[in-house]
Amino acid sequence: MPKVTVNGTEIEVDKGTTILRAAAEAGFEVPHFCYHPALSIPANCRMCLVEVEGAWKLQPACYSQVTDGMVINTKSERVVKAQKAVLEFILVNHPVDCPICDQAGECKLQDYYVAYDSQESRLRAEKVHKVKVFPIGPEVLYDGERCILCTRCVRFCEEITATNELTIVQRGDRAEIRAFPGRELDNKYSVCTADICPVGALTARDFRFKCRVWLLNSTDSVCTGCSNGCNIHLEHFRNEIQRYRPRFNPAVNDYWMCDAGRLTYKEVHTDRLLHPTNNGAELNWHAVCETVADKLKRAIDEVGSDKIALVLSPQASCEDLHLARKFASDVIKTSRFYMGGKRDGDSDDFLIKADKNPNRRGIEAVFGSTTAALPFSQLVDDIEAGTVQVVYMMDQYMPVDAATAARFVERLDKLKLFVFQAQHQGALAQKAHIALPVCSHAESEGTFVNFEGIAQGFERAFAAHGESLPHWQIFMRLAQAMGKPFSYTFIQQIRKEMFAPRPDSVASGTAEGVPVE
């Protein structure tokens, strides 16, 4: 293994390591624009030039591989001079409109200018004017003046999505990024180009001008758009999610996520159920729990536990489902489960999965088998047949076609009791005898198990909307009201129990016993 010296620090690195990586391992930052760890290396921005002893010219650190005994200096006078020159060159035609630019605050050009240049402009001539606010795709806008032509976006479309929409047109100071004639940047991952853009040239239409990035708080979370479970930075300001940004996880989503997933945050803030209601009248939690307990007890006496159905939601976290299972087996004493959740959607061979529920594998892990829950269409038939007279439903999603869903909503009138525990208002909330408001994944913590069986924890970002509570807390309150309290105080206790091997469980997927990240 080659030994190299970076700024006097000697380290041993793998063969084929680039100088930039070796310097990073030694603890020195080499500034760079065009280099991205997931993309090919064009070495066109020249920001990463470093001095290598014995070489006449400065070497691009992102491209040059280390050799044994190499002596590298990333901070010498020549390097500093080159960095200043490169930044001055990039800024010649840059509009420096940071107050207007959405990237300000997370802009590499801004950061590097402060860290490596910070000299006044010597340019007195008028800057070259290029295209502004150009709709390069349905989700992305392009600003030619701010673009530093690092070609990260071009390489993303060539190498990651393999859709090849973008290229550089014109030459010299008139060069711009454009889509090929008759095409636009409309692949399913197009907003990733705005993420990897080191400056504010590509901006996401959805996030544009919505919030300054320095005001955002970031919470580590998981996208709920599909069963892939892309890791995200859930970025929020004043109790409202402003955007999702992919979080690096080589086992799941690398640096990327899809455009559709990014927009799923909107669901969190629309049509939320805010207060527990009993036949449409708002109640407080204490009163509503007493009412539910009373009604459930009466239903158990009248129709028997086996006619009570619990609709499980693959949108809920493992902790929620674990308590749902416990509530059903210990308190109601029923084992009649049905599978809720969203309907299947589109898929591709990269990140988007057809199963639009983040935690279907979680149900398998918690309930021990895939056949624990009956299909939803069966529930409609069972209500019609009278074998189900009480429905306790988690979340409003129905994995059936519109006709069956309408039939289900119609049949709800036949039920003795319909308890609806969900995030959103709608036809089901109106029909419900009892409607209980539930938090979204942004307002509670928990675990999702993705389609590969990787259990991933997500954190609570902000306070719950209205009086909503997480599913597991509602089950705790109901169990308490029914006189069979669960002995949990913290969600960690549920987590410990949930992933511990159970004597009654059949050997189930890889999620069993997988440590929470």
Partner 1 sequence: MALVETRPVNRIKQNLWDKSYIPEIVRGLAITTRHFFRNMNPDKSQRSTFTREYPEVPTVYPERYRGLHRLMLRADGQVRCVACMCCSTICPADCIHIEAAEHDDPAIEKYPRVFVIDELRCIVCGLCVEACPCDAIRMDGGVHIPPYTERGAAFFDRDLLMERGGLSLAVQGGESK
Q: Mapping DSSP to helix (H, G, I), strand (E, B) and coil, where does residue 125 land?
A: coil
Q: For residue 34, which of 59, 62, 58, 57 has the smallest C-alpha distance?
A: 62
Give the nearest distance from C-beta 241 to partner 1 in angstroms: 17
Q: By CB under 8 A, name the binding residues for partner 1.
A: 95-100, 104, 124, 126-127, 132-133, 208-210, 212, 214-215
What's the closest the beta carbon of residue 246 comes to partner 1, in angstroms? 25
Q: Which is nearer to partner 1, 77 or 126 (CB)?
A: 126
Smallest distance, partner 1 to C-beta of residue 302, A: 55
- Minimum CB distance to partner 1, residue 135 (Å): 11
Nearer to partner 1, 19 or 101 (CB): 101
**Region for residue 96 given its phi and psi (left: phi exceeds 0; alpha: psi -120 to 50; beta: otherwise):** left
Judged by CB, which is closer to partner 1: 99, or 483?
A: 99
Q: How far is the CB of 19 from partner 1 (least distance, A)?
A: 38
Q: Indicate if the alpha-carbon torsion angle 94, 97, 102, 104 is positive or negative.
A: positive
Distances from the Cα of 43 to the Cα of 64, 177, 231, 302, 491, angstroms: 9, 17, 29, 76, 49
As measured in angstroms, the least distance from the Cβ of 212 to partner 1 is 5
**C-beta closer to partner 1: residue 100 or 287:** 100
Spatial neighbors of 106 by CB under 8 A, at least 6 apart, are 213
Residue with smaller CB distance to partner 1, 127 or 275? 127
**458, 445 Cβ separation under 8 angstroms:** yes
Angle among Cα 405, 410, 416 to the nearest 5 degrees reads: 115
Nearer to partner 1, 130 or 336 (CB): 130
Query: Which residue lies nearer to partner 1 by CB, 131 or 175?
Result: 131
In angstroms, the CA 140 to CA 177 distance is: 13
**Do 173 and 145 form a contact (C-beta atoms < 8 A)?**
no
Answer whether 25's CB lies under 8 Å from 36's CB: no
Nearer to partner 1, 37 or 135 (CB): 135
Asked if 454 and 252 count as a contact pair (C-beta separation under 8 A), the reply is yes
Residue 95 CB, nearest approach to partner 1 (Å): 8
For residue 120, the minimal CB distance to partner 1 (Å) is 12
3-state DSSP assignment of residue 375: coil
Q: How far is the CB of 42 from partner 1 (least distance, A)?
A: 30
Q: Which residues fall within 8 angstroms of residue 228, CB to CB, at 6 or more apart? A: 252, 253, 351, 352, 353, 450, 451
How far apart CA 174 and CA 460 sit, in angstroms, is: 47
Closest to partner 1 by CB, 124 or 171: 124
Count the alpha carbons within 13 Å of 65 in the hemisphere toward its beta carbon: 8
Cross-strand partners of 424: 272
